[in-house]
Structure 1
Amino acid sequence: MEIKVNKEVRNYTESIFLGLSIRQCFFSVIACIVAVLMYFLCIDSLGMEMTSWLCMLGAAPFASLGFITYQNMNAEQIVLTAWHSFLLSKTDLIYKPFNLYQELFKDVFEKQKKEALGKNDKKLRKIKETK
């Protein structure tokens, strides 16, 4: 007897109906409802072939919402994240490098620079005096 166990416990999803999770079943039912509504609304005016294509195209987005995941986010979370990042937080990102090490030891560096210039000045003075 073999028991399937996910390698990652957090990836476990309980299957409710025909191997689908609750989320997938919910969006599949919504897709079926949309397809049936489109069928009854368009069958008289468009004919059978156009109505069948329209039903498939209308139901496909709703059916796919139950199955889409990206970086452990559901379709709604992906849409909300995209909405927030593209439209709500529209700021220009300017790269300004920040050297924490330099900021912390700025005083020490300036002191070393002054000492180095002071030593060089003395050496230059001695060289000029000897000439």
Structure 2
Amino acid sequence: MKTALQAVVGARFNENTLDKVCRNAASTWAQAGHLAGRTFKKRRPVNPTPAAVAYAIYLAHAAGFSGAEIFSSAWLRVLDTDPPRARQLALEAKRLGLIDLRMAGDVVELSLSRLDPSPVRL
């Protein structure tokens, strides 16, 4: 992780700062369920909840994804879900009242007003 970060930031950060960023990222990823282990962190598959999938759909939609492509977005892949599993969890999120969703084949009608009820003001 440190090598990848260093490749992006170059010499702007010293070693101590890079170490701290890596520790904080590893802690966040561990809390999110992506890493396991106390000393040596290892990637583990995530078991996403319907709420996490609803938020990932919200982020994908905000990034410009629409229709069936939402279910194959990077935000859902981070949750270790393939499109069929993402659809299943999205339907569960609908049942929980988190999102409004209708699907028929590849046609997806989505409303996220329950997650963000305030209108966008520019």
TM-score, normalising length: structure 2? 0.22
Q: Pick the structure with more helix per residue.
A: 1
Whose radius of gyration is greater, 1 or 2? 1
More strand by percentage: 2
If the length of structure 1 is used for normalisation, what is the TM-score? Answer: 0.21
